[in-house]
Copies of this chain bind each other. A is one copy, B any other.
């Protein structure tokens, strides 16, 4: 069964992807108020509705939009009484917000319901593949790889030898996992993610050239981790780079060799963490921040975007800004003064002059 696979009105909709108000009311255990054959193939906010879309009304603030929306169907609360004519077909349910959430979930399940192993993929004979796995075109699965149940491997994914992927994980098109790395259960890795490239380790030689330090550790990603597009996580020199359970990483982040990121820590896009640094649990790190190597960051620390952390942060829950960063409140008070530094300089020059006059008088 396919539902709502199309999002954008510009997209041509094959017949089997359209659903009627009657069918949706059945799924949501609601009642149709209007045309039961009204047909939709997309979801939209009520204020951005278009023919073929289904929307919802839960927050009374948005009630005016129900009289003007171009959406074909609107899910409303059971007790909703229109004050003017509504052209959309209504589906009445116990809780419109929850019902729409259910539709979103269904939509995502259906969109990600791919199964089967493409004949155009390459799976090593020594690999072990779980039940209900999807492996897309041109995916390359190395020797001794172990893939759990319900895993989705999109086209052009590369899994080097000995990689392990836990149950229910999704690797979108073009994810590259070097050999020996371990991905947990229910993880999502977006396109362009690179797991386990060599850490940046070089030793200077006498002739100013550098010799490479072998990087033979790996990366361990625990369960329920999400990793954004084109983010890179380097393998450890020895041992493991570890991303703990529930961590969420945005796009284009750099995690260097031997770093550890604690449970449920969230890091925004384009941030970089240097080698061997350990970040605590439940931290929130803004975008484009940088963290130097070989330091510890306590649990619950918050770091403002574009900040640079140059030293161990041992106080749990500290809130930091600046490059190098210090207490956010203090940073911002300093910045207020920074903005009027030319005035300050003038004031000092003026004082200098007046003091001189006083001294000479």
Q: Which chain A residues in 306-346 approach chain B with CB under 8 Å?
A: 306, 308, 323-324, 326, 330, 333-342, 344-345
Decide: B162 and A6 in contact? CB cutoff 8 A: yes
Decide: B282 and A305 in contact? CB cutoff 8 A: no
Chain B's nearest CB lies how many Å from the CB of A134? 13
Give every chain B residue within 8 A of A149 (Cβ-Cβ).
Answer: none
Decide: B122 and A138 in contact? CB cutoff 8 A: yes
Decide yes or no: A342 and B334 within 8 Å by CB, A230-B194, A308-B305 being known contacts.
yes
- CA of A228 to CA of B252 in the docked complex: distance in angstroms? 13
Decide: A288 and B272 in contact? CB cutoff 8 A: yes
- CA of A220 to CA of B8 in the docked complex: distance in angstroms? 9
Decide: B173 and A158 in contact? CB cutoff 8 A: yes
Decide: B305 and A306 in contact? CB cutoff 8 A: no
Decide: A144 and B12 in contact? CB cutoff 8 A: yes
For A179, the closest partner residue in chain B by CB is B111
Number of interface residues of A (CB under 8 A): 120
Partner of A355, one of B212, B333, B355: B355
For A124, the closest partner residue in chain B by CB is B137
Decide yes or no: A218 and B7 within 8 Å by CB, A178-B191, A224-B209, A306-B290 being known contacts.
yes
For A14, the closest partner residue in chain B by CB is B144
- A292, CB-defined interface residue at 8 Å: yes
Give every chain B residue within 8 A of A243 (Cβ-Cβ).
Answer: none
Q: 24 interchain pairs (CB within 8 A)?
A: A5-B179, A7-B216, A8-B182, A11-B164, A12-B144, A107-B216, A122-B137, A156-B156, A158-B191, A174-B176, A190-B198, A192-B194, A200-B268, A202-B248, A208-B282, A210-B248, A230-B230, A250-B254, A252-B254, A269-B274, A306-B323, A333-B341, A337-B341, A344-B344
* Beyond A197-B228, A209-B264, A341-B341, 12 extra complex contacts between A and B, CB < 8 Å: A4-B216, A137-B138, A140-B173, A172-B178, A173-B176, A174-B194, A202-B226, A208-B264, A210-B264, A274-B287, A333-B341, A348-B351
A-B complex: 4 closest residue pairs judged by Cβ atoms: A337-B341, A158-B173, A176-B191, A194-B229
